[in-house]
Amino acid sequence: MIVPIPAIDLIGGQVVRLHQGDFNQKTTYSSDPLQVALKLEQMGFKRLHLVDLDGAKAGSLKQLAVLEKLASHTQMQIDFGGGVRSLEAMESVLSAGAQQVTVGSLALEQPALVEAFLQLRGPARLLLAADVRNGMLVSRAWTAQSEIGLSGFLEYWAERGLQEVFVTEVSRDGAMRGPATELYADLCTAFPQLRIIASGGVRGPGDVQALADVGCYGAIIGKALYEDVVPRMRWIELLQKGTYAG
């Protein structure tokens, strides 16, 4: 069982996808995020990964109004990230209707703030983002390369009670080359206490099933949905046959 999670990435209020996180390689799919979210909900998706790319680049929240609209007009469980750099920003995301706050750069650069949020709100309200390039973490919309390895980062947060993390292999994101299945298999084995959500490279239901087979809790799906790589009905069948675990 696995949770397929569609992604909506936002720039200027529009639904976009970037190729390997490069803001210069942007494709715009819709100017109406709500209509996109409603279509995803109608297909049967119950969770939504909403990313404020403007906020991630600027270091402050830019798309809260979109979050509020989607949260008030759909029943999907929304996690929201991008530009979350303070406790106040984390609370603003929850107040706007997200069920989970996604933090990446903040967990890397100011872990004490994230620990304070964990103590205040509990792990169910937090989704950790671990973005990886060549085995090392990147941050700030993938523009800043760190010297911190993925395993040490996950071990640190697992020890502090974190439950759920999505891991993006940046080289796979938007490239339609398939997910880094071996990486996720290793992570699921090394961190059985964590719910590992795979992100990057998913081309269709077959990739989602492959990630389920190695133990992933969830799989984030982006470009494959927007470019109709596989027929819409195949996604619906995936959701209807019980693959959805959420």
pLDDT tens-digit readout, 60-95: 999 999 999 999 999 999 999 999 999 999 999 999
Instruction: Please count the helices (runs of H) and the strands (runs of E) in the chain.
Output: 11, 12
Query: In this model, does residue 36 exceed pLDDT 80?
Result: yes
Task: Answer whether residue 176 shows pLDDT above 70.
Answer: no
Three-state DSSP state, 113: helix
227 and 198 Cβ atoms separated by less than 8 Å: no
User: For the segment 114-123, what is each residue's pLDDT rounded down to a tens digit?
Assistant: 999 999 999 9
Residue 170: per-residue pLDDT: 75
Q: What is the mean pLDDT of the chain?
A: 89
Active site residues: 9, 131
Contacts of 182 (CB under 8 A, 6+ apart): none
Distance CA 124, CA 19 (A): 30
What is the pLDDT confidence band of residue 4, given thresholds at 50, 70 and 90?
A: very high
Mean pLDDT on 167-176: 70
With a cut of 70, say whether residue 142 has pLDDT above it.
Answer: no
State the pLDDT confidence band at 245, using cuts at 50, 70 and 90. very low
Task: Look at residue 163 and give its three-state secondary structure.
Answer: coil
Question: What is the number of residues in the chain?
Answer: 246
Check pLDDT > 60 for residue 244: no
In the chain, where the domains are located:
3-240
pLDDT number for residue 105: 84
In this prediction, residue 17 carries a pLDDT of 86
Query: Does residue 40 have a pLDDT over 90?
Result: yes
* Strand pairing category for 77-81 and 195-199: unpaired
CATH superfamily of 3-240: Aldolase class I (3.20.20.70)
Q: Longest Cα pair distance anywhere in the chain, in angstroms?
A: 45
pTM for this predicted structure: 0.91
